[in-house]
Amino acid sequence: MPCPLATHDWPAASRQAHQLKGACMLMGLTALASALTDIEQAAENAPAENPGALLRQLAQNVSATRQALGGLTPVRAGGLVSA
């Protein structure tokens, strides 16, 4: 499925960004939610001036989030998993 920003499908870009933003907020991923807010707003005010810049910002936040999550210790319902 092509990226709606790349294909200039502004309504789909806005919807997808909104849905992903909500999921990120539920998980406390505020940097990702902020980047998705920017994408959602740009898509609503289409045409977005520079969708490539918005996608790069999102990719940087995804990378930083993945690195941060990679350093976490897995947990179980009963507490920390023993190493």
Per-position pLDDT tens, the chain of length 83:
788 877 888 899 899 999 999 999 999 999 899 989 988 998 888 765 677 888 888 889 888 888 888 877 766 666 555 54
Select from 74, 50, 4 the least CA-distant residue to 20. 4
The pTM of this model reads 0.73
Interacting residues of 42 by C-beta distance below 8 A, sequence separation 6+: 48, 49, 51, 54
